[in-house]
Amino acid sequence: MGKSAGEEGARQEEGQREEGREAGAYRAADGLGVGVAGGVLRLTLDRPAQRNALTDVSLTALIRNLEVAATDDGLRAVLIAGSGGDFCSGFDIVSRNAREPDGARPRTGSIQRRLAVQAGRLIPLLLELQLPVVCAVRGWAAGIGAQLALAADFAVAARDATFWWPFLRRGFTPDSGSTWLLPRAVGPARARQLLLLGRKLSGAEAADWGLVHAAVDDAELDAAASGLTAELAAAPTVAFGLTKALLAAAPGRDLHGQLAGEAYALELSSRSPDFREGLAALTERRPPRFTGR
């Protein structure tokens, strides 16, 4: 027997209350806008005058919000975008290394200590988050900005966007997992072009190289990224997260280890309400209506 209108209305109202409670756990910060709607967490890098360069404050807030997302059962997807004409021009190392009011510079070793809990936390978090992550990239995506897009499950870029890993051009070595992610994404020869020669890639070239999911005209970027995010938000979230984890684990396993991982994931996903919905939709010859449970 189907649900009454009253029961359905109560269910929707409870869902809205749950989303409201979860939304309250997310926090905007200086340089980072946050919004939750329709099961999608939208994170907006918001320092347009600095091409959305990250700071200690905005990077810490980005990590914290993703950590909240990891345990939010009402969330279905994450969309990361930039404010204005750029995605993210990297980390604001000028302000990081500015002298203190007393004339002293940051204590020796501050970068090494901070990286472990900042970029060293952010990139694994994006890779391990059992939710779809989409990046919408226009303008500059440099340094850790390019790495954000690379660590996302899907990046949609404007054709005229610019991806750049400028570390050596600035006299220091790569960070944020660049030397690990790039060779796996494009192969060692192309990774050397990007890291050692400082080659810049347009959004169209990044799509050709397989660095991003798709390249579109700038005017179409927001709609394309939002449409993809909505599609992913309607997917079976548990099965998506487990499949994402399997893909991440595969390079470090042999076949038998991966088969065991697949069996474990299938056992979990087959216990989910979305699995039962998928079977019902198949039997009834209709599109499935997944709830992310």
SS3 234: coil
* 106 or 40, greater pLDDT: 40
Last residue of a domain, one of 214, 234, 254: 234
Q: Would you say residue 293 lies in a domain?
A: no
Q: Output the pLDDT for position 96.
A: 57
Residue 269 — pLDDT band, cuts 50, 70, 90?
very high
* Shared-domain flag, residues 248 and 175: no
* Shared-domain flag, residues 187 and 274: no
CATH of the domain at 22: 3.90.226.10
Q: Output the pLDDT for position 111.
A: 73
Separation between Cα atoms, residue 115 and residue 140, nearest integer Å: 22
Task: Answer positive or negative: Cα dihedral of 95, 97, 98, 101.
Answer: positive
* Shared-domain flag, residues 146 and 248: no
Query: In this predicted model, what pLDDT tens digit does every residue of 43-98 receive, in sequence order?
Result: 999 999 999 999 999 999 999 999 999 999 999 999 999 999 999 999 987 665 55
* Shared-domain flag, residues 152 and 276: no
Q: Would you say residue 19 lies in a domain?
A: yes
**By 3-state DSSP, what share of the chain in percent is helix, strand and coil, each rounded to 5?**
50, 15, 35
pTM of the prediction?
Answer: 0.86
* Shared-domain flag, residues 131 and 190: yes
Query: In this predicted model, what pLDDT tens digit does every residue of 178-211 receive, in sequence order?
Result: 999 999 999 999 999 999 999 999 999 999 999 9
Number of domains in the chain: 2
Range of the domain at 205: 5-234
Q: Output the pLDDT for position 16.
A: 41
* Shared-domain flag, residues 67 and 89: yes
* Shared-domain flag, residues 207 and 242: no
Residue 122 — pLDDT band, cuts 50, 70, 90?
very high
Separation between Cα atoms, residue 22 and residue 36, nearest integer Å: 9
